[in-house]
Structure 1
Amino acid sequence: MCVNYLPASREELENDFNAPVQGEFDWKAETWQDYPAPIIIGQEGRRKAVVGLYSMIPKAHIPPGVKRFSTMNARAESIDTLRSYAKHWREGRLCLVPMTRFFEPNYESGSPVRWKIAMADASPFAVAGLYRTWEEPDGTESFSFTQITINAEDHPLMRRFHKPGAEKRSLVIVPAGDYDHWLECRDSERARTYLRHYPVELMAAMPAPKDASKKSENAVNQSLFG
């Protein structure tokens, strides 16, 4: 499962996704659990970007006394039964999570190495997500979201990640031509037909250690996207 990614910029949201940001919001260059980040939702046949917290149930909304639990990733196999997601899945609260790359651990060397996964042409892309709204104490509305994952045992690239012996999982990269179909889908069974793997030949991956120097990172970028 993915726990960290680089979200699209305001400019990329407008130019690459045709989804202008609603309101004056900022977000960090890297997104982790409970961080604010942009998502794209459909509204009256048009796309718009809003900012939500990366966790379907953010820490601030976990009841007192309840141990913190992760809702950053929703398994496609149980998204319609788990209480954290089922109601919103049935209501068709589908979103796109725009990004430029996400990160996964690779254990092929015997130790976990952080890898980046992106598009082969370095273009921004979006993965399938589910969102919900919250009524805040001051009466305002806020958003939160999760990314949907599928089994990756048969995907040539995504099966290379996660601990040995653990189930291989992958985010669902949505083809650009399906963006609006996904956002406008309100039939949960039809929505499942979009939860499929992205062609490996259109993807790229490369080691990207978290403590890499800027020089090393630039070298990786050049190798990955040059």
Structure 2
Amino acid sequence: MCVNYTPTRRDQLVEKFAAIDQTGEDWRPEIWQDYAAPFITHDHLKRRRAQLGSYGMIPKSKIPAGVKRFSTMNARAETIDQLRSFAQAWRMGQRCLIPLQNFFEPNYETGKAERWQIGVKDHSDFAVAGLYQGWNEEDGQQSFSFTQITINADLHPVMRQFQKPEDEKRSLVILHEQDYDGWLACPHPDLARQFLQLFPAEQMWAKAANLDRTRAKTKRPTTNPSAIQASLFDDE
């Protein structure tokens, strides 16, 4: 489960991900639910393009009045083809790359939640597997939202360190660079599942985050992050 991450830098969209930059706007240094961040898809010529989307498959603005807000930041691979929030996008092949520098998870080894930061070993930017959704707005424009796909990580040497001791361990699907285009272009949902694998632990790093430095740089969401964490399974 991931509810907060550090997105890629603008210069890396081209340099690292070879994507045409169509984002048009800047994004925050840390991403939480409903924040705008870049995601990458194929255009009609199979070129990678980066656009901005809202983190969470169903943005807050799209939840009908009177309906309790639920989290769609993460989509469980095991039920991605069954839950209404994700099933259509999965069947329609609306797959994307979500470019990151690193992401955050809670570590409870000290007895209380401690914020940890996770990335890949060479500290380069990387992409995780996701789905995206388009929305038609009243002004005739189209907006986008996206979710990150998670898989079981009970036995993963790095990712099993996180979440409460009694909880199932989950991990984002970190994709190998050589699989970026294969994931985006895979012709059938069942075939796309072959990409939903755990990333090798020896190619990852994890450490306690510098909370003071993080708080100084990033405005936190008004929603309590611990409440967001607790609600992750509402729609999974």
Asked if these proteins are the same fold (TM beyond 0.5), I'd say yes
Supply the distance in 1 between the matched residues of 2:20 and 2:108 (Cα, whole angstroms).
Answer: 39
Percentage of pairs with the same residue:
57
2:100 partner SS:
strand
1:193 partner SS:
helix
Structure 2: 5+ residue runs without aligned partners? Answer: 216-236
Deviation for aligned residue 1:107: 0.5
The aligned runs of 1:1-226 (5 Å cut-off) are 1-43=1-43, 44-212=45-213
TM-score, length-normalised on structure 1? 0.92
1:15-35 Cα offsets, whole Å, 9 max, x none, are: 000012115211100000000
TM-score, length-normalised on structure 2? 0.89
AA of the residue aligned to 2:28? K
Deviation for aligned residue 1:63: 0.7
AA of the residue aligned to 2:115? R
CA contact (8 A) 1:71 1:146 kept: yes
2:88 partner SS:
helix
Report the counterpart of residue 224 of structure 1 in structure 2.
none
Supply the distance in 2 between the matched residues of 1:200 and 1:141 (Cα, whole angstroms).
Answer: 39
Deviation for aligned residue 1:56: 0.1
**What stretches of structure 1 move > 2 A for 4+ residues in a row?**
209-214
- Cα root mean square deviation, aligned: 1.4
Supply the distance in 1 between the matched residues of 2:192 and 2:60 (Cα, whole angstroms).
Answer: 28
Supply the distance in 2 between the matched residues of 1:210 and 1:69 (Cα, whole angstroms).
Answer: 27
1:6 partner SS:
strand
2:156 partner SS:
coil
1:155-198 Cα offsets, whole Å, 9 max, x none, are: 11101100110010000000000000001113100111100000
AA of the residue aligned to 2:62? H
Supply the distance in 2 between the matched residues of 1:193 and 1:119 (Cα, whole angstroms).
Answer: 21
CA contact (8 A) 1:113 1:209 kept: no
1:190 partner SS:
helix
Supply the distance in 2 between the matched residues of 1:178 and 1:10 (Cα, whole angstroms).
Answer: 22
Deviation for aligned residue 1:212: 4.6
Q: How many residues align?
A: 215
- Structure 1 residues 209, 110: closer, same or farther in 2, change over 3 A? farther
